[in-house]
């Protein structure tokens, strides 16, 4: 039980740290980002009402007022779910803009993450089990090389090859012909648009799992309990799964959420290249136009999402590894 309490405690503390970091970043900048936003919006003929200006000041910093009172106002805004208005998409609020893009990314990244975890674990475990076989060597060499490729570059190559070259898949956007809604035509349309971004990520993300799983599994295969399992004359499949893989899986589970942070980074670039209507492209866009409210909102959201995923992975780890529960006690 102590283990779980500790992990939830860590989650709360990191959540606080992230929220505070998000508060500090715009305030540490030279100049006045809030004022800049208000002026820029005015320049776009988009007048903010009083409440919106105030929210902008609470979120991005005010020239007056103590840091402490600013911090308080900032927290109040967050608790009300108010992330301000987007400069780019005015009059939409940041929350609305993010809300629209949210599911595009969650579905893409979620599918990729789960699939690549499964594939990576299986390939890594199998390569380790057949260590130094041709399969192992090719998996290791290919993974090492592919793992160093930059996702956005792969994206560009895929666009060139499968998109323009062969014309099999659309190369930009999230959908085209149909209108959004839950119907066959739209789902097909969306999936064909998502294919290349997903493929790009699927090329890169399993690599970490493959190599990580292979290494821990190789180390575990040298342990006494594996030798004892062999001496017991158990079937190979049982030794591989119940003894070796079961133990080797643990560090991978612990690393699941950390990898998510990395994937989100890759997604920003890949979505930008494919013009895919998710959070990543939004971030790329926000950076280009200096849409600070949107940028801060996205930073906060991705960080919180990663923390949550980390919490879930930690809790899962506690269930999978009986030692963890005690070590923390």
Partner 1 sequence: MALLDVRDLSIRYEPKQRAAVDAVSHLSFSIDDGEFVGLIGESGSGKTTVGMAVLRLLERPGRISGGSITFDGTDIAHLSQDELRKYRWREISTVFQSSMNSLNPVTRVEAQFADVIQCHTALRGREVTERIRTLFDMVLIDPKFMTAFPHELSGGMRQRINLALALAIGPRFVVLDEPTTGLDVVVQHSILENVRRLQAELGFAVLFISHDLGTVLDLSDRTMVMYAGKIVEEQATRQLLREPLHPYTKGLLGSYGDPRAETVRITYVPGRPPDLAHRPGGCAFAARCPERIDGCTELEPAETEIGDGLVACHVAAIQRGAADNTTGAEVGPAIRTFAGPQFVKSAAESAEAVRGRPLVTVDNVSKTYVRRQGLRAVRTEAVTGASFVLRRGGVTALVGQSGSGKSTIARMITGVDAPTSGQITFHGSDGDQVVARMRGRRLRSYRGSVQMVFQDPYSALNPTKTLGATLARPLINFQHLHGTQLRDRVIDLLETVALSPGGRFVNRYPHELSGGQRQRVVIARALAVEPELIVADEPISSLDVSIRAEVLELFDKLVHERSVGILYITHDLLSARMLCDEVVVLNEGKVVEQGPSLDVIRSPQDDYTRLLLDAIPNPFAATRD
Partner 2 sequence: MSSTQNAVLPEEQVAAAGTDPVDRWYRVVWSSKKARVGVVVVAIYVLVALLAPVIAPYGPTDGSFTPLTGPSAQHLLGTNVAGVDVFSQVIYGSRVSLLVGLLGGLLATAIALLIGMVSGYAEGTVVDDVLTFLTNTALVIPVLPLIITLVAYSDTRGIPLIVGVIAFTSWAGAARSKRAQIITLRNRDFVTAAKFSGDGTFRIIFSEILPNMTSLVAAAFVGAATGAIGAEAGLAVLGLGSSDSVSWGTILYQADAAGAISQGLFVWVFVPGLVLAILITSMAFINFGIDLLSNPHLRED
Which residue ranges make up the site for partner 1 (CB under 8 A)?
2, 222-225, 227-236, 238, 242-243, 246-247, 250, 320-323, 326, 329
In the DSSP assignment, the letter for residue 242 is I
Whole-number Cα distances in Å, 45 to 39, 97, 140, 148: 10, 20, 57, 46
Q: Does 10 bind partner 2 (CB under 8 A)?
A: yes
Q: Does 83 bind partner 2 (CB under 8 A)?
A: no
Q: Does 180 bind partner 2 (CB under 8 A)?
A: no
* Cβ at position 141, least distance to partner 1 in Å: 17
Distance CA(182)–CA(110), nearest Å, equals 19
* Cβ at position 6, least distance to partner 1 in Å: 10
Region from 45-53, 70-78, 217-225, 244-252 binding partner 2, contact rule CB under 8 A:
217-225
- 304 burial class (0-12, 13-18, 19+ CB within 10 angstroms)? middle
Which residues neighbour 88 within 8 Å (Cβ) at sequence distance 6 or greater? 97, 285, 286, 289, 291, 294
Q: How many residues touch partner 2 (CB under 8 A)?
A: 57
In the structure encoding, which two tokens stand for residue 329, read together? 């006690």
Q: Does 245 bind partner 2 (CB under 8 A)?
A: no
Helices (H), the chain: 2-27, 33-43, 50-60, 67-79, 94-129, 134-147, 151-158, 184-204, 206-221, 224-231, 236-238, 246-274, 279-289, 292-320, 322-327
Nearer to partner 2, 190 or 281 (CB): 281
The DSSP secondary structure of 268-285, one letter per residue, reads HHHHHHHT-SSHHHHHHH
Residue 273 touches which member of partner 2, partner 1, none, C-beta under 5-8 Å by kind: partner 2
Nearer to partner 1, 36 or 234 (CB): 234
Among positions 13, 42, 118, 142, the unique one binding partner 2 when judged by CB under 8 A: 13
Q: Does 160 bind partner 2 (CB under 8 A)?
A: yes
* Cβ at position 303, least distance to partner 2 in Å: 5
Encode burial over 31-55: b for 16+ CB neighbours within 10 A, e otherwise.
Answer: ebbbbebbebbeeeeeebeeebbeb
Region from 38-46, 64-72, 87-95, 257-265 binding partner 2, contact rule CB under 8 A:
257-265
* Cβ at position 182, least distance to partner 2 in Å: 30
Region from 38-46, 101-109, 119-127, 144-152 binding partner 2, contact rule CB under 8 A:
144-152
Q: Does 77 bind partner 2 (CB under 8 A)?
A: no
Distance CA(102)–CA(91), nearest Å, equals 19
Residue 159 touches which member of partner 2, partner 1, none, C-beta under 5-8 Å by kind: partner 2
Q: Does 258 bind partner 2 (CB under 8 A)?
A: yes
**Nearest CA to 296 among 13, 12, 27?**
27
Distance CA(98)–CA(308), nearest Å, equals 18
In the DSSP assignment, the letter for residue 93 is B
Residue 230 touches which member of partner 1, partner 2, none, C-beta under 5-8 Å by kind: partner 1
> CB of 267 within 8 A of CB of 201?
yes
Which residues are at the interface with partner 2 (CB under 8 A)? Answer: 10, 13-14, 17-18, 21, 25-26, 29, 33, 132, 144-145, 147-150, 152-153, 156-157, 159-160, 163-164, 215, 218-219, 222, 257-258, 260-262, 264-266, 268-269, 272-273, 283-284, 286-288, 290, 292, 295-296, 298-299, 302-303, 306-307, 310
């Amino acid at each position: 039980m102590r283990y779980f309490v500790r992990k939830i405690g860590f989650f709360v503390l990191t959540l606080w740290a992230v929220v505070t970091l998000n508060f500090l970043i715009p305030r540490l900048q030279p100049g006045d980002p809030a004022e800049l936003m208000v002026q820029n919006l005015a320049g776009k003929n988009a007048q903010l009402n009083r409440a919106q200006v105030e929210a902008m000041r609470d979120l991005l910093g005010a020239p007056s007022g103590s840091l402490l009172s600013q911090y308080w106002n900032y927290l109040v805004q967050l608790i009300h779910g108010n992330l301000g208005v987007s400069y780019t998409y005015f009059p939409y609020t940041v929350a609305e803009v993010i809300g629209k893009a949210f599911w595009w990314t969650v579905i893409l990244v979620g599918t990729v993450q789960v699939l690549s975890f499964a594939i990576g674990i299986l390939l890594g475990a199998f390569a380790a089990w057949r260590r130094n076989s041709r399969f192992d060597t090719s998996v290791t060499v290919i993974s090492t090389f592919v793992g160093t490729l930059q996702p956005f570059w792969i994206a560009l190559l895929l666009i060139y090859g499968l998109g323009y070259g062969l014309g099999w898949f659309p190369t930009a956007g999230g959908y085209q012909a149909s209108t959004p809604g839950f119907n066959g035509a739209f789902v097909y349309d969306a999936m064909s648009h998502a294919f290349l971004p997903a493929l790009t990520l699927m090329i890169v993300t399993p690599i970490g799992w493959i190599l990580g799983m292979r290494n821990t599994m190789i180390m575990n295969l040298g342990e006494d309990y594996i030798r004892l399992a062999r001496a017991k004359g158990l079937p190979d499949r049982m030794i591989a799964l119940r003894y070796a893989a079961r133990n080797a899986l643990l560090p991978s589970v612990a690393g699941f959420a950390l990898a998510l942070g990395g994937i989100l980074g890759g997604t920003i670039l890949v979505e930008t290249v494919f013009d895919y209507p998710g959070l990543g492209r939004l971030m790329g866009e926000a950076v280009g136009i200096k849409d600070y409210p949107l940028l801060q909102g996205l930073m906060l959201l991705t960080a919180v999402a990663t923390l949550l995923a980390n919490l879930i992975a930690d809790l899962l780890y506690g269930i999978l590894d009986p030692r963890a529960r005690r070590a923390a006690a």
